[in-house]
Structure 1
Amino acid sequence: MSTSATAFASTTSSRAAPWLLGLVAVVWGINWPVGKAMLAHLPPVWTVALRTGVGALAVLLLCLLTRRLVLPRRADLPVILSVGVLHMTAFSVLCSIGLQHVTAGRSVVLAYTTPLWVVPGAWLLLGEAPTRWRLLGAGIGLAGLVLIFNPLSFDWHDRRAVAGNAAVLLAALCWAGSILYVRAHRWVTPPFELVFWHALLASCLLLPMAFALEGVPRIEWSPALVSQLLYGGVFGIALASWAMTTINRALPATTTSLGLLGVPVIGIVCSAVSLGERIGMALVGALALILGGIALGMVRGRD
């Protein structure tokens, strides 16, 4: 590819990245109540394994149709491991385990404490010193997350609840590590061509893990379960994983993590509508803080 073509592609990617970030926020926000609903039919690790397998098949089909299926190069292996292990496997399994004991709305809030790790990590490891507006946006957004979480009202004597919340917080740390590495990675193969290999690696890890931890599941198939698997695989994994890889290349890690604070907003609203989870005044105030933090980080982030 010529220098001018490369520059054009980079500019196009940068312009599209904020829109892709908004799309991912909607898709992943909806995916939380969908994942919670699937746990009524499947054990947690099998839920992630089957959903990831569907995603891998969807990406494979798309790559074949567009003739973009390629073998990864040696330089691609670190980023395949980063996304496949830290995000698609560790993050997904830990969140699914946490969802057994934590409401979908609360889980999505805890999972998106990722900026707590990304902002200092990007500063220390990538040299991305945050502007005062990004710091202020992160602080306001995280204040909203703390308001939703409200640790003062949490029952710390409930071991299952503690373990569930801890699992989701650990998932956030794993995802932060993936975001930071993807941002620092020197790309050889374009992101789209690697999405299949991310999902394939995750599937190869998840299926043996599901058999070892949960045995052979007894699945009562229904149109609802099939539609949930298709949504989680095609949109939650195939589409969103490609979009996130493109976003991470085009936007600073701090901006990406701030934009993803929109996911808990969508997730909480969808959980209230589809699962009947309660929305109180504190939750409404917290959502306003999160949206305010996103606006400051995204609009004034370059000041």
Structure 2
Amino acid sequence: MRLIPPALAILWGLNWPAVKIGLSEVPPFALRMGGMGAGGLILLAAALLTGRSLRFARSDVVPLLVGGLLNITVFNLAVVFAQLATTTSRAAILTFTTPLWAIVLAYWVLGEKLDRTRVTALVVGLAGIAVLASPIFTGTVNPLGVLFPVVAALSWAAGSVYLKRRPYRADRMVAIGYQLLLAGSVAAVGFVVSGETLPGSLSAWTAFAIAYHVVGATALAYVLWFTLLDRLTVGAASMTTFAIPVVGVVGAMVLVGDRPGLLDYVGFAAVIAAAGLATFGPKRA
């Protein structure tokens, strides 16, 4: 059990440079079509092997669809296009602003009040985003490199807030398996419409990165995540995710040659501090 949190941080953190490497030879919709489709099939197979039922209640259909579109489909597609438009480290950190957008959406949708800690988190987080986005005005950063990761963060936050209001009762592993298949199907439509083609062959390094993305960062990581959730509260388990962007940034520097500048580190620090306040700050009763 003690090894699961660091294992998850490594699996999901290194997935950022793994996807970047995969994109060097595989187009974005094709990568997501294969990755999420295969990951979904592996999860459903694992569910069967562990004696879980693949059936779910009719009342779960809408929450599973909405959650699958927001938390899995839009999130993953936005992330992959973010990596095409900016550095892996910037994409990872900006996507980590999810807790900030969750605060805003929970205020609007669920009526949760904004206390001093949450307002501080929003101010610090928006300042970090502004720092990371500032190179847009000098032409050194593609605006889409900021837009796509923020869309990913907003999508995940919206899905989380929606599922808080309308949770599903289906088994978590089975639900994510189906949602990954849904995301893979949407990516398949994008693959056809965009006219992408599959590469005739892959280098060994790219093939390894894609295999890691599918088997390690998708299937195995989700199995470990559900194991952790079965033993701990969601809040305690969520502390694991706090190390993911740090591992992602370090992995991007080592594996894909990212070299963040001083301004990037300032933005990174602000976003991580804000996310920490939003996630672990004092909670209202």
Q: State the TM-score bracket (shorter-chain normalisation).
A: 0.7 to 0.9
Matched, 1:46 2:27: no
Paired position in structure 2 for 1:234: 215
Partner Cα separation in structure 2 for residue 250 and residue 79 of structure 1: 22
1:67-86 per-position Cα deviation (integer Å, ceiling 9, x unaligned): 11321221211222123212
Spell out the pairing of 1:223-262 with structure 2 (5 A cutoff): 223-241=204-222, 243=225, 251=234, 262=243
Could you tell me which of 247, 253, 261 is aligned with 1:266? 247
Instruction: Indicate conservation of the 8 Å contact 2:99/2:279, yes or no.
Output: no
Query: Structure 1 residues 226, 157: closer, same or farther in 2, change over 3 A?
Result: closer
Verify the 8 A CA contact 2:89 2:260 in the aligned structure 1: no
Task: Give the counterpart of 1:275 among 251, 256, 268.
Answer: 256
Change (3 A) 1:130 1:31: farther
Cα–Cα, structure 1 residues 139 and 219, in superposed 2: closer, same or farther, change >3 Å? farther
Following the alignment from structure 1 to structure 2, what is the Cα–Cα distance between the partners of residues 72 and 82?
15
Does the 8 A contact of 1:55 with 1:238 survive in 2?
A: yes
Contact 1:99 1:107 in 2 (8 A): yes
Q: Measured at CA, do residues 82 and 146 of structure 1 come closer, stay the same or move farther in structure 2, by a change above 3 Å?
A: same
The one-letter code matched in structure 1 to 2:135 is S
Change (3 A) 1:291 1:166: closer
2:166 is equivalent to residue 182 of structure 1: no
Paired residues of 2:173 and 2:226 also in contact (CA < 8 A): no
2:282: which partner in 1? 301
The separation in 1 between residues aligned to 2:75 and 2:272, in whole angstroms, is: 24
Equivalent position of 1:57 in the other structure: 41
After TM superposition, the structure 1 stretch with the greater mean CA deviation from structure 2, 122-131 or 71-80, is 122-131
Q: 1:193 and 1:75, CA in 2 relative to 1: closer, same or farther beyond 3 A?
A: same
Q: Deviations over 1:100-151 (max 9, x none)?
A: 221111222232332342111112212333443344345434544443x1x3
Which residue of 85, 95, 102 maps to 2:69? 85
Q: Partner of 1:269: helix, strand, or coil?
A: helix
2:135 alignment partner, one of 136, 153, 161: 153
- Equivalent AA in structure 2 for residue 153 of structure 1: P
The runs of 5 or more residues in structure 1 that have no matched partner are: 1-15
Give CA-to-partner distance per residue, 1:136-190, whole Å, 9 cap, x none: 345434544443x1x33324668x9223432333232222211111222233223
Aligned pair 1:27/2:11, yes or no?
Answer: yes
Contact in 2 for aligned 1:63/1:69 (Cα 8 Å):
yes
The residue number in structure 1 matching 2:94 is: 110
Q: How does 1:161-176 map to 2 (within 5 A)?
A: 161-176=142-157
In structure 1, the residue matched to 2:85 is 101
Aligned to 2:178: 197
- How far apart are 1:297 and its partner, in Å? 4.1
Distance in 1, matches of 2:193 and 2:202, equals: 22
CA RMSD of aligned residues (A): 3.4
For 1:284 and 1:35, locate their aligned partners in 2 and report how far apart those are by CA, in whole Å: 22
- Matched letter for residue 215 of structure 1: E
Q: How far apart are the structure 2 equivalents of 1:163 and 1:291?
A: 21
User: Which stretch has the larger CA shift, 89-98 or 260-269?
Assistant: 260-269
Mark the CA change 1:219 to 1:171 in structure 2 (over 3 Å): closer, same or farther. Answer: farther
TM-score with structure 2 length normalisation? 0.81
The offset of 1:246, in angstroms, is: 8.4
Supply the AA of the counterpart residue of 1:191: R
Q: Tell me the matched-pair count.
A: 280
TM-score by length of 1: 0.77
Q: Partner letter of residue 31 of structure 1?
A: N
**Native 8 Å contact 1:87 1:178 kept in 2:** yes
Whether 1:74 aligns to 2:58 is yes
Residues 209-228 of structure 1: pairs in structure 2 closer than 5 A: 209-228=190-209
Aligned-residue identity in percent = 25
Cross-structure match for 1:124: 108
Residue in 2 that maps onto 1:13: none
CA deviations over 1:220-278 (Å, ceiling 9, x no partner): 2343233222222233333555638987x9557xx96x985643332222111111211
